[in-house]
Amino acid sequence: MSADPLQRIRTVPASSAILLDVDGTLAPIVAHPDLSAVPPETLAVIAALVERYVLVGCVSGRRALDAARLVPVPGVHFAGNHGLELLVDGEVQLAGGVEEWLPDLRTATAAIEPIVAEAGGWIEDKGASLTVHFREAPDPTAARALLELRAIPLLNAVGLVSRWGRMSLEARPPLPVDKGSAIEELLLGRPGVHRSLYAGDDRTDLDGFAVVDVKVAVRSDETPEELLEAADVIVEGTEGLVALLASLLD
């Protein structure tokens, strides 16, 4: 790779794709997901990227429609639920095999609800997956320990796969779908794409890093070390990321 990894993207916009995580990457992390917002100046840069690059997409852990609400920029493509959802012509398409797991997700949600309440967290029902948030718990460290001891075994018992996020615990069907496969799906829809960039801030973004040419890590106090080690470029927070995106317009 060249001394400036971004040069590989910047010089060939007609055959390059820009893929972006949302929370912690475009939108600053906040206490509750409902409070998240992408700054207007970031939205303006994304709109300019849509005009210049062959593909601009958001690949989020949020539901696809929720990601589209946060990034209301015409021309942006969306994958949600860590790849379990794609937004196609305004309609949500579930990945193959998800439908049969929906009853198990409801069963798991009911089973862990009292444990989550005891931990001081809450459950976000995302349809094709669920996320336990404990950022606002009185003692997040104790909350995580309780979830690990009592909630994860119940999630595993119905066959779901769980993994930790930033002050959260995610559970999803055991399907070969992730942010990387979602990016590949988006790229397939644009046959002219020969180079790609993905920016993210959390452990699940490693799946996206695995399938792109340029990997951008957005650093914060909670960014996992393995993401920083895998990155070609590291920026400081969401402000650093929007500055990097603006540089791709030069």
- Any idea what the CATH number is for the domain that residue 36 is in? 3.40.50.1000
- Contacts for 131-136: CB closer than 8 Å, 24+ residues apart: 131/61, 131/165, 131/168, 131/169, 131/170, 131/171, 132/168, 132/169, 132/170, 132/171, 133/32, 133/33, 133/167, 133/168, 134/167, 134/168, 134/169, 135/31, 135/32, 135/166, 135/167, 135/168, 136/31, 136/32
19 and 212 Cβ atoms separated by less than 8 Å: yes
Residues 161 and 143: their CA atoms lie apart, in Å, by 19
Residues 215 and 110 in one domain: no
Q: Which of 122, 143, 172 is the last residue of a domain?
A: 172
Residues (pLDDT < 50) of the chain are 1
3-state helix, strand, coil in the chain (%, to 5): 40, 25, 35
Residues 91 and 118 in one domain: no
Residues 147 and 210 in one domain: no
57 and 22 Cβ atoms separated by less than 8 Å: no
Residues 143 and 212 in one domain: no
Q: Which of 172, 207, 234 is the last residue of a domain?
A: 172
59 and 79 Cβ atoms separated by less than 8 Å: yes
- Domain membership of residue 191 (yes or no) is yes
Residues 67 and 62: their CA atoms lie apart, in Å, by 6
pTM of the model: 0.92
How does DSSP classify residue 227?
A: H
Please tell me the predicted confidence (pLDDT) of residue 74: 97
Q: How do residues 164-190 score in pLDDT, each as one tens digit?
A: 988 999 999 999 999 999 999 999 988
Burial (CB < 10 A; 0-12, 13-18, 19+), residue 151, is buried
- Domain membership of residue 1 (yes or no) is no
Q: Which two tokens stand for residue 220?
A: 């914060």
Please tell me the predicted confidence (pLDDT) of residue 75: 97
Q: Which of 127, 156, 172 is the last residue of a domain?
A: 172
> In this structure, what CATH number is given to the domain that contains residue 112?
3.30.70.1020
Residue 58 lies in domain: 7-95+177-247
Please tell me the predicted confidence (pLDDT) of residue 1: 46
In sequence order, which residues have a C-beta less than 8 Å from that of residue 118 and are 6 or more positions away?
146
- Domain membership of residue 2 (yes or no) is no
Count other Cβ atoms within 10 Å, centred on residue 172.
25
Residues 188 and 161 in one domain: no
How does DSSP classify residue 145?
A: H
Residues 39 and 28: their CA atoms lie apart, in Å, by 9
Residues 182 and 83 in one domain: yes
Rg of the chain over Cα atoms, rounded to whole angstroms, equals 18
Number of domains in the chain: 2
Residue at token pair 């960039």: 197
Size (the chain), residues: 250
- Domain membership of residue 231 (yes or no) is yes
